[in-house]
Amino acid sequence: MNGSSFIALLTALASLFEAQRSGAIGVITSVAGMRGRPSNYLYGSAKAAVSAFCEGLRARLHRAA
């Protein structure tokens, strides 16, 4: 699953949970997103995008709580 489809799924779930005022999201990503490497930079960039998105989503949902 690439980063954009994962982000789309989390966005939909977050909106549902926000409307319900309840729910939990757990995300496990990869250390490959911590630093770009020549052998897997596409994979790593998708993981970095998911990690950055989740940081912002956590802040958004925290404000809504």
Please report the pLDDT score of residue 56 as a whole number.
Answer: 96
36: domain range? 3-64
Identify whether the C-beta of residue 50 lies closer than 8 Å to the C-beta of residue 33.
Answer: yes
Active-site residue, selected from the candidate residues 10, 18, 30, 43: 43
Predicted TM-score (pTM) of the model is 0.85
Q: Is 41 a catalytic residue?
A: no
For the stretch 3-53, pLDDT in tens is 899 999 999 999 999 999 999 999 998 898 898 899 989 999 999 999 999
Please report the pLDDT score of residue 30 as a whole number.
Answer: 87
Count of domains observed in the chain? 1
- For residue 61, CA distances in Å to 24, 26, 28, 37, 43 come to 10, 13, 18, 32, 27
Please report the pLDDT score of residue 64 as a whole number.
Answer: 80
Residue 1 pLDDT > 60, yes or no? no
Quickly list H helices, the chain.
3-20, 41-64
